[in-house]
A and B are shown apart, each in its own frame.
Chain A
Amino acid sequence: DVKVTQSSRYLVKRTGEKVFLECVQDMDHENMFWYRQDPGLGLRLIYFSYDVKMKEKGDIPEGYSVSREKKERFSLILESASTNQTSMYLCASILQRTGPDTQYFGPGTRLTVL
């Protein structure tokens, strides 16, 4: 079975801190994604990556950056955390495909910025 793990389930940070959220998948998937989940808004795509060192902006990239130095690891970075970044963050991965396929999700990191 595919396993996607995230470094923390719960995280509390202060405004202005630099925050790293780590995601690791163990199935050699090419494509990885970061979403944030907010009540009433569903999941919104922040960034995604099709390959090592490649990244693409999603729908809400402002205030975030990403890093993909190794195929299995995709990091989300909050350069200077703000209270409006308090949210649930979900990582997902998918095997590069020629047809529609399943995204596999990690358990999520609930981030609170004070």
Chain B
Amino acid sequence: GDSVTQMEGPVTLSEEAFLTINCTYTATGYPSLFWYVQYPGEGLQLLLKATKADDKGSNKGFEATYRKETTSFHLEKGSVQVSDSAVYFCALSDGYTDKLIFGTGTRLQVFP
């Protein structure tokens, strides 16, 4: 079945460092891909999404490109802030239902 694999955390960075969180997927159809973020004590909220190959999703300085050839959707940010500290989830939707399949989450800790 469909699945999402993302890098284990925690990822620990200093403020203004470059961030990459890797995400790869396995899917039989043409999934849409999402990054959700969970700040401490809160539910998940959508960070960005991409619906087809080569699409780039972006929001709040974060970017991810839907790479069909490598089945990847890596999250990047050029300069992280302390306020970016959160858990990041990569997810896919199979395009036929509304169900999401999530990765295990990656905790990001940014220190001043």
Contacts and interface: CB of A to CB of B under 8 A. Distances in A.
Interface string B88-103: 0100010100111011
Nearest to A30: B98
B6 to A, nearest CB: 8
Given A41-B104, A100-B32, A4 B43 contact: yes
A42 B103 contact: yes
Interface in B60-96: 89, 93, 95
A42 B93 CA distance: 15
Interface residues of B, number: 21
A42 B98 contact: no
A105 B99 contact: no
A4 B43 CA distance: 10
Contact of A42 (B34, B42, B43, B102): B102
A31 B99 CA distance: 10
B103 A105 contact: no
Contact of A108 (B43, B89, B105): B43
Interface of B: 32, 34, 36, 41-46, 49, 51, 89, 93, 95, 98-100, 102-105
Interface of A: 4, 31, 33, 40-45, 48, 58, 90, 92, 94, 96-97, 99-103, 105-108
List the 6 closest pairs (A to B, CB-CB), nearest first.
A100-B32, A105-B43, A42-B104, A42-B102, A43-B102, A105-B44
14 contacts: A33-B98, A33-B100, A42-B89, A42-B104, A43-B100, A44-B102, A45-B99, A48-B98, A94-B98, A100-B32, A101-B98, A102-B34, A102-B46, A103-B98
